[in-house]
Amino acid sequence: MRLLIYLSFALLLPVAAVAQAMQDLGPSARDQINASRAEAGRSALSVNRQLTQAAAAHARDLADTGAFSHTGSNGSSVGDRVRGQGYGFCFVAENIAKGQGSLEQVLSGWMASPGHRRNILASQAREFGLVRGPGNLWVMVLAKPGC
């Protein structure tokens, strides 16, 4: 019986580790992102809970499947994931990264990449969510609500 209890506990550890590894870094990144946007003459972004949840869902999916893609394991796009959180948008973009060990590293890498930089500096963007998932999977979702 003890072996069964220990075995059951051991099987639950990876699930708990995955859940604990998700970090909401939007509040920590906001000032640096907005400083970059201000330098480019863009308006400031605010952190949005629904966009953070969409980013977290995608990071979890990527970690669970071992994939690295903007397409979810169920074929979803970033727009599908954002709508799934109840967020209506007229602009949406997504940045993903893997392996960077710090917020500074991932933001520097994205700003050095033309496509990722374009998303961060998009004049249409008004809100964002940014998470760090298991295995240093980073997902940022930027959007403009409504329209």
Q: How many CB atoms lie within 10 A of CB 3?
A: 7
- Residue whose structure tokens are 């890498």: 109
Q: Tell me the mean pLDDT in the region 128-138.
A: 97
Task: Band the pLDDT of 33: cuts 50, 70, 90.
Answer: very high
**E-assigned strands of 23-134?**
23-24, 46-47, 89-98, 127-133
Q: Find the range with the poorest average confidence among 15-24, 59-68, 71-80, 88-97.
A: 15-24
Q: Could you tell me the pTM of the whole model?
A: 0.86
pLDDT above 80 (res 4): no
**E-assigned strands of the chain?**
23-24, 46-47, 89-98, 127-133, 137-145
- Phi, psi (rounded to 5 degrees) for 105: -65, -45
3 state SS of 103: helix
- Phi, psi (rounded to 5 degrees) for 142: -120, 145
| Residue from 29, 39, 19, 15 nearest 97 by CA | 29
